[in-house]
Structure 1
Amino acid sequence: MAGTRETEGKNVSRTVYERQATHKDSTWSINECVSVEKTVKDSIGGRRGAGRGYNSYRLQFPLEHIWDLYQDEDGKFVIPYEFENRSSYGPEALFNITCSMDQYDRNTCVRFRPRRDEWNYMYIKNENDGCAFEGPGRTKLRQKLILQADDIATCTNVEIIMHELMHAIGFQHEHVRFDRDEYVRINWENVEKEH
């Protein structure tokens, strides 16, 4: 049943939500589910450049931050959510939030579902603090997703919502990837001294 809390001791295979490109590539993207086996767990936290192939996959956050506590009847991972104040959003914003979550439902192994009685969940709040998520991934029982929608700023277009939901799943920006130094060159002579 969707949203049913996992019973203690039940063995649920951990899944990392996304993987892209070849077995040599250790970046993650939204497309397919890949089981995280013991060999992958053993390699997490290893030195950059250590190992190649399947055993060298590394995540940018600990496995306990993966949203794997709840699964639906199809084995998809469920992220329960609720609105702190649903009426603070207009109909268009609510429609965009729903559409963004539906994109994940259709294209990944992650499902966003309204919270029932789950202990771990995400709550969506219209707060004067821009667009932000406490994360990456599942880091505490009740995590806040801020989607500001007012005259000052709007974080309720589909692209921004999907971006923030990616942080909820556990993704960081490209510039904080563990292998960024292999792809980014800083021209220090172009950096002003005060920076």
Structure 2
Amino acid sequence: MATLKTKLTCKDGPDYPFVRGFHLSLSCSYPGKYAQDWRRTVVLRTFMNGIATTFIFFCRNFCSVLNGAPSATKSAKSTMLGRQWMKSLKLMSSKLPRVIDGTTSLREGDIAVSAGRRSKVCFARSCLWSKSVDGHVYLAYRLSHEYSEMETKLIKKGMENIEKGTCVRFVPWTHQRDYIDVQPKSGCWSYLGARGGRQTVSLQSPHCLQVGVISHEFMHALGFVHEQSRFDRDNYVTIMWPNIWRDRLRNFEKFRTDSLDLPYDYGSIMHFGMYAYSQSGEPTIIPKNRKDIKLGQASTLSHIDKMKINKLYKCGGKDDY
């Protein structure tokens, strides 16, 4: 049996000895400030019978766990990181298509699509939520009882991000026929636009409970696709196809959606980050003629994001809200 040693390296954090049994090098970065741009490049080298084998996959939570527990002992950190790594290994090493159930799958990483229903039709009026006579769009929601008080506050903060400067209002579900059922299922995902009746938004704890991620998924529920899916995106960004995981190439398809006559928004909360679905740690999306610009962000809606909501739902100007 080979003699192995380990080392954990995290950006902006110290190096820690890790669990014995393999050599592990871990690099963490968050260059695009967007959920799908969390880049966790893990290189695992094992030496069996003199043959070196390298595995590369992408994991989450290492930096947040490491930096979020400054008072923990080195041993406790190692144990916790070890469990996180093993869990991420099982999840991220799978190359199977993302399937929620027998009739629903995920497109572009977080858009739920039912069999027999096209996923890119929600700029049609039939996909929009009803508008009230007072000019607001009221989205009824129900939160799972599995969320803690703190998690509930985070989800509501994500809703407030959308409400500010728009005509959208989130209201607790009482008896409404159409409503959003927020559940801590597997992963972060939403259906696109209003489907009628109860529809799920999945916000798994703890990975999805970041305010920007929450707002992003509710934007899908309102009917918005990813910004880089725009039919004119090639005028603004270059997709680096060789750097993308082969089974995730479809996440970068273009669709003829309505741009609402608004400019391409590099800083949209709906834009993939520069390293989204990278198989090599190299960029998968590069801005054209804008080398200094960042793609996507994970804090709040951009000004153009809010303009899109108000234009799609034919709301008044920003001063009305």
TM-score by length of 2: 0.36
Q: Distance in 2 between matches of 1:77 and 1:159?
A: 21
DSSP 3-state at the match of 2:212: helix
- Give the partner amino acid of 1:138: A
Cα distance between partner residues in 2 of 1:174 and 1:105 = 20
Matching residue's letter, 2:200 = K
How far, CA to CA, are the matches of 1:185 and 1:141 in structure 2?
Answer: 39
Aligned residue number for residue 219 of structure 2: 166
Question: Does the 8 A contact of 1:133 with 1:146 survive in 2?
Answer: yes
Q: Pick one of 157, 160, 176 that aligns with 1:102.
A: 160
> Which of 217, 231, 243 is residue 178 of structure 1 equivalent to?
231
Structure 1 vs Structure 2 CA RMSD: 2.3
Task: Name which one, 1 or 2, has greater alpha-carbon Rg.
Answer: 2
2:194 corresponds to 1:138 = yes
Distance 2:239 2:215 in 1: 30
- What is the aligned-residue identity percentage? 34
CA distance in 2, matches of 1:111, 1:60: 19
Partner of 1:111: 169
Query: Higher strand proportion, which one?
Result: 2
| Equivalent residue letter for 2:181 | Y
Of residues 147, 154, 164 in structure 1, which corresponds to 2:207?
A: 154
Structure 1 stretches lacking a partner, 5+ long: 1-58
| SS of residue in 2 equivalent to 1:71 | coil
In the other structure, the counterpart of 2:27 is: none
Using the TM superposition, give the Cα deviation of residue 102 of structure 1 relative to its aligned residue in structure 2, in angstroms: 2.0
Gapped regions of structure 2 (runs ≥ 5):
1-120, 247-321
- How much does 1:60 deviate? 5.5
State whether residues 140 and 170 of structure 2, in contact with CA within 8 Å, keep that contact through their aligned partners in structure 1.
yes
TM-score, length-normalised on structure 1?
A: 0.57
Name the structure 2 match of 1:71. 132
Aligned to 1:29: none
- Aligned-partner Cα distance in 2 for 1:186–1:164: 23
The answer to whether the 8 Å contact 1:60/1:177 transfers is no
Read off the aligned partner of 2:188 and give its amino acid letter.
Answer: C
Q: CA 1:181 to 1:114, structure 2 compared with 1: closer, same or farther past 3 Å?
A: same
| CA deviation after TM superposition for structure 1 residue 158, in Å | 0.8
Q: Number of matched residues? A: 125
